[in-house]
Copies of this chain bind each other. A is one copy, B any other.
Amino acid sequence: MVESIVGCKWSLHVLARIRQGIHRPGALRRSTRGLTTKVLNERLNKFLRFGIVERRVFAQVPPRVEYHFTAFGRKFIRLLDEIEKLQRDVRRG
């Protein structure tokens, strides 16, 4: 599962954006240079399937959808943070 999530170069970017409070697909796409709708949707679907994010649909026109972290998702990215921190410590010596 980790492999499946992190195995795409865009996953971490998208997770970072969601964490920054960007929840809508359109905004996510615009905020990440080079990210296409296809890849974004692939990632979002994967995150959904693994229970990392949940999908909120608003009955509006035009349609409005938001993706938010689940409790699991928050714990998950926190662990990724720890790996990052660990690595920074190592590089410092």
Residues of A participating in the B interface, judged by any CB pair closer than 8 Å? 1-3, 6-9, 11-12, 50-51, 72, 75-76, 79-80, 82-84, 86-87, 90
With A51-B90, A86-B75, A90-B51 in contact, do A80 and B12 touch (Cβ < 8 Å)? no
Docked complex Cα distance between A16 and B50 (Å): 22
Main secondary structure of the interface of A (DSSP, over half): helix
Q: How far is the CA of A47 from the CA of B10 in the complex (A)?
A: 22
20 other contacts beyond A1-B83, A76-B83, with CB at 8 A cut-off?
A: A1-B84, A1-B87, A2-B6, A2-B80, A2-B83, A2-B84, A3-B6, A3-B8, A3-B9, A6-B6, A50-B87, A51-B90, A72-B86, A72-B87, A72-B90, A75-B86, A76-B86, A79-B79, A79-B82, A79-B86
